[in-house]
Amino acid sequence: MIKSKKRGNLIIISGTTCAGKGTVIKHLLERNKNLYLSISYTSRPKRGSEVEGEDYYFITPEEFQEKINHDEFLEYAQVQYGCFYGTPKKEIEEKLEVGFDVILEIDVEGAKQVKEKFPETILIFIMAPSMEEVKRRIKERKTESAEQIIKRFKRAYQEINEVNKYNYVVVNDVVDEAVRKIEAILISEKCRVDRIEEIRVENEEEIIHEFLIDKDFDNDTKPIV
């Protein structure tokens, strides 16, 4: 009786430093074939083992500016050292139209930009169980100085203050549990009433009549004495 909209959902997943959002998203993609992770464009040079079209689309600053001029980004930002990062609009729209749920792994500022353009976007914020755990995870990396760690902490607290802008918060203590929670969120979003495209209901009298003359109904019904 109910026909749901074919169009997929746009999902933003953000998180504080060392919240493990990359790991959670990786597991989500492995378990759910209808999910698509958007690949961003960047104007910075490729690093190490990064792969074109898997990690980012690498373009020159001039090419990036040209795309800005043609309104080809859903959101974009200039970060440290003047490098640009942007989310491609056309690719996402194509995936949504054929029914894929599209994940954007972007920060709080990018999420604000997207939400303004697409109010129906589902915003999920991933957090570590505690700042003490964040500290432990950073130390395990052994890749950052004390000054860099302090900067990360300050940024994390700023982002936590933006949580009320999101629809859902998921604490990533155990990865599998965090993944299951996000899967439950996505299932519930598919069941929203505003995703119903059409409800086919026949004439009320016809429905009642068909029900009353149904053979099974007649056979199961005994005369009242």
Identify whether 43 is part of a domain: no
Name the percent of the chain lying above pLDDT 90: 55
**In terms of C-beta distances under 8 Å and separation of at least 24 residues, what long-range contacts does 60-67 make, across chains too?**
67/41
Q: Please report the pLDDT score of residue 88 as a whole number.
A: 95
Contact of 31 with 179, CB cutoff 8 Å:
yes
Per-residue pLDDT tens for 63-112?
Answer: 999 999 999 999 999 886 678 999 999 999 999 999 999 999 998 989 99
Identify whether 13 is part of a domain: yes
Reply yes or no on whether the pLDDT at 208 is more than 70. no
CATH number, domain containing residue 131: 3.40.50.300
Identify whether 55 is part of a domain: no
Average pLDDT over the chain, rounded to an integer = 86
Q: Please report the pLDDT score of residue 25 as a whole number.
A: 96
The whole domain housing 117 covers 2-38+101-208
pLDDT band at residue 217 using 50, 70 and 90 as cut-offs = low
Helix (H, G, I), strand (E, B) or coil at 112: helix
Identify whether 92 is part of a domain: no
Identify whether 113 is part of a domain: yes
pLDDT band at residue 168 using 50, 70 and 90 as cut-offs = very high
Question: How much is the pTM?
Answer: 0.81
Reply yes or no on whether the pLDDT at 46 is more than 60. yes
CA dist 96 and 9 (Å) reads 7
